[in-house]
Amino acid sequence: MTDIPLQLQQPQYRFIVLKSKSKTPIQKWTQTTNHYRYDNPYIKRHITEGGNVALILGTKDGTSYGNIIAIDFDNEEVQQKCLPKLPKTFTIKSGGKGLLHLYYKTDKTRILRITKEINGENERLVDVQGPGTIIVCPPSTHPSGKQYTVHDNSPINFIEMKQVKETLLPFHTSKLKAEQKYKTSQKTQKAKTGLLKNITDLGLTIKQIMQDLGMNINKNPTECIFHNSKGKASFSWDNSKGIYHCFGCGEKGNELTLLRKLNGK
């Protein structure tokens, strides 16, 4: 395959260019710069020359990229248990472990990470890639040399985010998930209505949020939750200042920014 799959050849979808056999962006992209339609001459030339591409997912800061999410499996057992419960849809087979990326249109784009706690460490089982994140797609090549390929050539189906969570959350066995704490606390309800002005009212630090999400806090920088990275070391943070920045995808902000992004705000 030398073209972006037909299901992704839609004017509302945007792609960024990656290095050859890599998940690393060549250009720093923003909401208005350095992303391209499938038929842009630059991205077509980039693919012809062997470069990789990634699709921008979700709706971020009011900019919509088609309200699309990707369920990104990282555990084969969980994948096999979830597939019968999810609608048939356009699906990509990863060039890494050979596991699946299921593409869906949805009512509410969200980022979700499902992890399993093993000996005090969180093992990633599946991610829902959403607002402001990217996912590598065909005709790209994984760093291993294997191709990303179309596994199911169906149209991109619709799924409610409620069904996504009902299917995936039972597999989440880590003690605490920041998104759940954010949604259930009384002070969080104030945040949703715009009444929360000070992050200290919520009582969460950057490090605590990262740990709750299953991110590796034993190294700084570490792997970013907003995108996949070859080096797994692009997300840096300063707990004393309450700020973070990813030099891979450009995401940055404070504790409240991080929580709001995870909820598609």
**124 and 39 belong to one structural domain:** yes
**223 and 121 belong to one structural domain:** no
* Domain tally, the chain: 2
Does residue 230 fall inside a structural domain? yes
pLDDT at 265: 45
Structural domain ending residue among the three candidates 171, 203, 219? 171
Does residue 1 fall inside a structural domain? no
Residue 28 has pLDDT above 90, yes or no: no
Q: Which domain holds residue 156?
A: 6-171
Q: Among 134-148, 186-200, 230-244, which is the least confidently predicted range?
A: 186-200
Q: What are phi and psi of 154, to 5 degrees?
A: -65, 165
Question: What is the percentage of the chain residues whose pLDDT exceeds 90?
Answer: 44
**188 and 140 belong to one structural domain:** no
Task: Compute the mean pLDDT over every residue in the chain, rounded to the nearest whole number.
Answer: 82
Q: What are phi and psi of 207, to 5 degrees?
A: -65, -40
pTM of the predicted protein model: 0.68
Range picked from 111-115, 123-127, 196-200, 210-214 for highest mean pLDDT: 123-127
Name the pLDDT band for 133 (thresholds 50, 70, 90): confident
pLDDT at 62: 56
**131 and 15 belong to one structural domain:** yes
**For the residues 144-150, what does the mean pLDDT come to?**
95
Q: How far apart are CA 18 and CA 2, in angstroms?
A: 15
pLDDT at 229: 60
The CATH number assigned to the domain holding 55 equals 3.30.2250.10
Q: How far apart are CA 149 and CA 99, in angstroms?
A: 11
Say whether 45 sits in a helix, a strand or coil: helix
The distance from CA 51 to its chain's CA centroid, rounded to whole angstroms, is 21
pLDDT in tens, 46-77: 999 999 999 998 766 556 677 899 999 999 99
pLDDT at 201: 43
Does residue 79 fall inside a structural domain? yes
Residue 223 has pLDDT above 80, yes or no: yes
